[in-house]
Structure 1
């Protein structure tokens, strides 16, 4: 694997985000300089403080609206690569057509800006498993070769009838389709690759100020850690990857100038019972509901049981990088430990239940 040099500057968009923060950290650890875009200065300052050990190689720049044409022209000056993660979407407040149009506009804007800078060697976009899974009703292992054609047909036939998670899926599919169409049509000199994570947990770079601020899928573990049920969406689609593995995949793509490659990042099948079992085994006094230990998943590898027809196959990333994913058990424990300080200040159980219901409220059951 090629090694980074301090002469190479990588732009990470939306650096205050959950995945982007860890991506910036991983790139810095690999020897790169990183410039991160932000909209909220307070959040950017917290990210900068969290990466203070790399202070001389990490800088931030404001981009108030990445959807505007040319929004990243200045931010890309002198960069060798771009990691496109920022994707502002208010799913519950948007109809499918404006959400899709915005997602496509952002991706095309990033690529058009990159085309103006000869120094850019590669562009990596963070997509989603939502741009892979779907369109097949029979038993099937989903890989990087798949696309959710059912969602695309639904959007074409009745976009106004799509809500919540379906809007999210439509936007993710359209954005990544636009990414690859740009490559095919424009044949840019820079390499292009995508990383498509499943649901993501793992410790955040910057801890939210309260449980009310948890917007990532880590809320699943936090809920169970507090002795409650997790959000329903994660009960029906319990496929997980650690945020640090997503960051590692990004570094791999940058290091090796991956071109034309998609990577499905998914490490384990971990339903609510698996989380509870991990927490109770690691902490005898855990509040996690006991349930029926071992039910609904296979041990010791945290795989889907035989009655699950459609599975997600993230083995390509392992094969190409030569490194396995962070073990599911470690990921769950590390996540729980990271969020413990927030739970320590939570009051009565009724208050916790309100918090749990607010976690990941931007995801709807229809996103499965």
Structure 2
């Protein structure tokens, strides 16, 4: 018996694909949206083929998520919605305006369609980001779900096209989640609404990248260290990964919990944060797990610069994050162990080394 049908936007994305498999493995039906049907073929003919053939997985095309009514057909009959379609890029040649528009209108559009889904819709989960939480409060400080990014949007408005790409991305995430909650306050829907705010997401992709160029930005530090490339590379962007991390499989599990427990999560934000990774801790873990690769993985200074429990090394000099609330949404109430997450990420990339 199916537990219901969950709509997952952006099915072919890194987090969304893993999340879709999690739902399918746990007896849900999934309707996934993509901009072009062809972009889902690697999933429906690959790791999700048995679900596509059985009818448990349905893929629908939504070419432009900002168009009014874009999701009207896709939402019909669903019991849950996980809005996971979100671009992760730091290069915006056209400036912030189209990015901000897509982030805000894309969220509002699917919410407006959700009102037409029917009374069987019980829960709507949006994938936000820690970028919508962190602000410029100086350390020592620990961010919780009560905190909001209050600097990125004013910076974008002030600097326009001169705004650094990463800051445009941060502003778009903060604006999209604020629009999400403003919509809830105005429309007062019958279905529950909640937000997940993950930090940098690592872990094995459902479809491993076919080339180094396809390696996602948040897992690239693991790939570079595993393959023997210098980290950070000379052309590293302002934000170079590492730091606070969470496993993609934990984000998937948290999404499923939120869909399955609408009354509990309604109106809540949940930070997804498991541990802190440094170049040295990653190198130490990988050198131990893959002794045959010790010749290429830089040794550095083993054991230095990180805590053995992979928490923040010096809370007096850096901002910390509290992920304990999000932990309650996980099976057993614990995040995937740090070492396992790093090792499984490397195994997912080993064919490229």
TM-score w.r.t. length of structure 1 = 0.87
Is the Cα–Cα contact under 8 Å of residues 37 and 60 in structure 2 kept in the other structure?
A: no
- Confirm or deny: 8 A CA contact 2:219 2:241 kept in the other structure: no
Q: 1:132-211 residue pairs with structure 2 within 5 A?
A: 132-211=133-212
For 2:143 and 2:190, the matched residues in 1 are separated by 30
Moved over 6 A (4+): none
**Equivalent residue, structure 2, for 1:304:** 312
SS in 1 for 2:328: helix
2:340 aligns with: 330
TM-score, length-scaled by structure 2: 0.91
Report the equivalent of 1:112.
112
Q: Is the 8 A contact 1:235 1:272 kept in 2?
A: no
Distance 1:152 1:167 in 2: 8
- The corresponding residue for 2:71 is 72
- Could you tell me how far 1:190 is from its partner in structure 2? 0.9
Residue 101 (structure 1) aligned with residue 101 (structure 2): yes
Taking a change above 3 Å as real, the CA distance of residues 271 and 164 of structure 1, as seen in their structure-2 partners, is same
In the alignment, which residue of structure 1 is the partner of 2:9? 13
1:250-297: CA deviations, max 9, x gaps? 001001012111111010100111110100011223221101112221
How far off its partner does 1:89 sit? 6.4
Q: Secondary structure at the match of 1:223?
A: helix
Alpha-carbon separation, structure 1, partners of 2:246 and 2:304: 20
Q: How big is the shift at 1:207?
A: 1.4
Q: Which residue of 1 aligns with 2:40?
A: 44
Cα distance in 1, alignment partners of residues 254 and 242 from structure 2: 22
Which residue of structure 1 aligns with residue 31 of structure 2? 35
Please state whether the residue corresponding to 1:149 is helix, strand or coil.
coil
CA deviation map 1:294-338 (0-9, x unaligned):
222100x11111254311111111235452000110011111111
Aligned-pair CA distance for 1:99 = 1.4
Give 3-state SS (helix, strand or coil) of 1:208's partner: coil
CA distance, structure 2, for counterparts of residue 315 and residue 89 of structure 1: 25
* Alpha-carbon distance in 1 for matches of 2:101, 2:240: 30
SS at structure 2 position matched to 1:285? helix
Give the Cα–Cα distance (whole angstroms) in 1 for the partners of residues 168 and 319 of structure 2: 22
| Structure 2 residue aligned with 1:245 | 250
Kept in 2: contact 1:241–1:267 (CA 8 A): yes
Structure 1 CA distance, aligned partners of 2:141 and 2:272?
A: 17
Structure 1 residues 90, 240: CA separation in 2 closer, same or farther (over 3 Å shift)?
closer
Quick one: structure 1 residues 89 and 291, their matched pair in 2 at CA, closer, same or farther if it must change by over 3 Å? closer
Query: 1-side partners of 2:136 and 2:149: how far apart?
Result: 5
For 1:52 and 1:236, locate their aligned partners in 2 and report how far apart those are by CA, in whole Å: 32
CA distance in 2, matches of 1:288, 1:203: 20
What is the match of residue 299 of structure 2? 290
1:276 and 2:317 aligned: no
Check conservation: 2:218, 2:241, Cα contact below 8 A: no
Give the equivalent residue in structure 2 for 1:366.
none
Partners of 2:134 and 2:227 lie apart in 1 by 31
* Closer, same or farther: CA 8–275 of 1 in aligned 2, 3 Å: same
Residues in 2 aligned to 1:91 and 1:320: alpha-carbon distance in whole angstroms: 30
The unaligned stretches of length 5 or more in structure 2 are none
The two structures, once aligned, show a CA RMSD in angstroms of: 1.8
Q: Which residue of the partner structure matches residue 122 of structure 1? A: 123
Give SS of 1:205's match: coil
Could you tell me how far 1:96 is from its partner in structure 2? 2.0
